[in-house]
């Protein structure tokens, strides 16, 4: 296993971290296949993984319980354990203690090495900040329940920078980042900014929720042109590990083959190891996804918004496009279901006001009909070239 500097700490994390939100399950997401999941987790630790990441809501609350059972004993001393405060559930300052004490019980430990404020955005950050979460966390560090404080993040770069700058005792942060998300959320800019401030940066969604693992044939054909052969997953992971600002890459592994393959990838990882032509190939893959496999030429500029009827036009297009680009139709349909009814394409009344504002001249009203037919009514999803 390769190890990497973890921010300002005198400790190195394994290049690969085990994300505990996608364990194999039986009959529903909450029912972890414990024998197989334990085999996977122990294999990873036995092969050098020393960063284990879970959270309050994973597997319906059962991830922390399961991880606690597996780590009880010798394995607990071999790893640094991370879990997260469910900020969206916090209503009062007393909730900080309620949640962490419950998590310590579930994890069967007296301390959490790395504690994160979970899934911060502008709204949740201001809520917990105003409730005094930073002062509370300092108290929990002083009494030994928390080793180090960090946060995970889902919002715009400007909000990310605000949070980083708001507190000079952050140890680390966790961001969604992969070669398709360089300008999404915190992005490359956020990665470099956090590292420049001395924070360790933990990466989540390195494979974009599995979308980058089994690409459509035009993408695979590009990967096949490389002199050094790698799987699509290995390309995505090595692209991250090539960047010295990355401290640890989390993978939510759901099968033993994922663990063995990712451990093997981590074993040969290091900063600045990809050749210029390899980085250029990743760039061509990114461009292929965006420019040739993306059926609706929406740039998410937002000129079409707000829709007078409440439709979230850019988000509908983004979901539809990703279903085609990554050949993940079921993912797209589930994402569409998450939208409120008024935000979905089905709420379009064909007023065409948005079309007058669109710099890309997209026939938005026509696309709204098609988007709902495919994502909302289950009609066949067109291929990448349609």
Q: Are both 324 and 276 inside the same structural domain?
A: no
Residue 286 counted as domain residue: no
In this predicted model, what pLDDT tens digit does every residue of 262-274 receive, in sequence order?
A: 999 999 999 999 9
Per residue in 319-344, pLDDT (tens digit) is 998 888 888 888 899 999 999 999 99
In a domain, 323, yes or no: yes
Q: Could you give the percent of the chain with pLDDT greater than 90?
A: 82
Q: What is the pLDDT of residue 384?
A: 43
Q: What is residue 376's predicted lDDT score, i.e. its pLDDT?
A: 93
Same domain, 53 and 180: yes
Kindly provide the residue ranges of all beta strands, DSSP E only, lying in 121-245, ordered along the sequence. 146-153, 172-176, 200-204
Same domain for 187 and 309, yes or no, is: no
Number of domains in the chain: 2
289 assigned to some structural domain: no
Mean pLDDT of 255-267: 97
35 with 86, same domain? yes
Tell me whether residue 70 is in a domain.
Answer: yes
Q: Which of 281, 316, 342 is the last residue of a domain?
A: 281
Residue 125 contacts residue 163 (beta carbons within 8 Å):
yes
State the first-to-last Cα distance of the chain, in angstroms, to the nearest integer. Answer: 44
Who's near 17: CB < 8 A, 6+ residues apart? 49, 51, 52, 53, 202, 248, 249, 250, 251
Residue 1 has pLDDT above 70, yes or no: yes
Q: Is the peptide bond before 306 cis (omega within 30 degrees of 0)?
A: yes
Do residues 344 and 368 lie in contact, with contact meaning Cβ atoms separated by under 8 Å? no
Residue 43, strand partner residues: none
pLDDT at residue 385 above 70? Answer: no
Kindly provide the residue ranges of all beta strands, DSSP E only, lying in the chain, ordered along the sequence.
Answer: 3-5, 12-14, 16-19, 51-53, 80-85, 112-120, 146-153, 172-176, 200-204, 248-251
Length of the chain: 386
Kindly write down the DSSP assignment for every residue of 246-296, as one continuous string: --EEEE---SHHHHHHHHHHHHT--TT-S-HHHHHHHHHHHHIIIIIS-SS
User: What is the pTM assigned to this prediction?
Assistant: 0.83
- Domain at 59, CATH number: 3.20.20.100
pLDDT digits (tens, 9 = 90+) for 191-249: 999 999 999 999 999 998 787 888 888 999 999 999 999 999 999 999 999 999 999 99
Asked whether residue 261 falls in the same domain as residue 303, the answer is no
Q: Across-strand partners of 251?
A: 18
Tell me: do 380 and 263 sit in the same domain: no
User: Within this chain, do residues 23 and 126 fall inside the same structural domain, yes or no?
Assistant: yes
Q: Whole-number mean pLDDT of the chain?
A: 93
pLDDT band at 382 (very low <50, low <70, confident <90, very high): low
At residue 124, the pLDDT reads 94
Rounded mean pLDDT, 145-151: 98
Domain span at residue 15 reads 3-281
Q: What is the 8-class DSSP label of residue 58?
A: G
CB-CB contact of 326 with 211 (8 Å): yes
Let me know whether 275 and 298 are in one domain: no
Q: How confident is the model at residue 383 (pLDDT cuts 50, 70, 90)?
A: low
């Amino acid at each position: 296993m390769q190890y990497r500097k973890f921010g300002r700490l005198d400790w190195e994390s394994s290049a690969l971290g085990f994300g505990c939100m996608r364990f194999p399950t039986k009959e529903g997401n909450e029912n972890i296949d414990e024998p197989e999941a334990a085999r996977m987790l122990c294999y990873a630790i036995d092969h050098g993984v020393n960063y284990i990441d879970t959270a309050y809501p994973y597997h319906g609350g059962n991830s922390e319980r399961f991880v606690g059972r597996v780590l009880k004993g010798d394995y607990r001393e071999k790893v640094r354990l991370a879990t997260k405060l469910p900020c969206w559930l916090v209503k009062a300052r007393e909730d900080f203690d309620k949640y962490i004490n419950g998590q310590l019980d579930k994890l069967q430990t007296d301390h959490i090495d790395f504690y994160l404020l979970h899934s911060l955005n502008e709204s949740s950050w201001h809520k917990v900040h105003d409730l005094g979460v930073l002062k509370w966390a300092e108290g929990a560090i002083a009494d030994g329940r928390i080793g180090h404080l960090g946060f995970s993040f889902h919002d715009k770069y400007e909000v990310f920078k605000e949070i980083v700058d708001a507190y000079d005792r952050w140890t680390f942060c966790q961001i969604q980042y992969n070669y398709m998300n360089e300008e999404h959320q915190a992005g490359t800019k956020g990665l470099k900014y956090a590292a420049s401030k001395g924070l360790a940066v933990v990466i989540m969604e390195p494979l974009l929720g599995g979308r980058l693992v089994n690409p459509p044939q035009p993408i695979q054909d590009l990967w096949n042109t490389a002199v050094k052969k790698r799987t699509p997953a290995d390309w995505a992971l090595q692209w991250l590990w090539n960047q010295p600002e990355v401290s640890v890459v989390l993978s939510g592994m759901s099968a033993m083959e994922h663990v063995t393959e990712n451990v093997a990838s981590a074993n040969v990882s290091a900063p600045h190891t990809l050749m210029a032509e390899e980085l250029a190939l990743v760039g061509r893959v990114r461009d292929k996804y965006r420019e040739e496999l993306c059926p609706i030429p929406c740039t998410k500029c937002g000129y079409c918004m707000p829709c007078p009827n409440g439709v979230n036009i850019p988000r509908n297009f983004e979901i539809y496009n990703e279903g085609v680009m990554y050949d993940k139709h079921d993912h797209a349909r589930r994402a569409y279901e998450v939208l409120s009814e008024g935000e979905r394409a089905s709420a379009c009344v064909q007023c065409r006001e948005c079309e007058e504002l669109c710099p890309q001249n997209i026939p938005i009203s026509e696309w709204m009909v098609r988007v709902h037919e495919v994502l909302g009514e289950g009609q066949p999803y067109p291929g990448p070239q349609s």
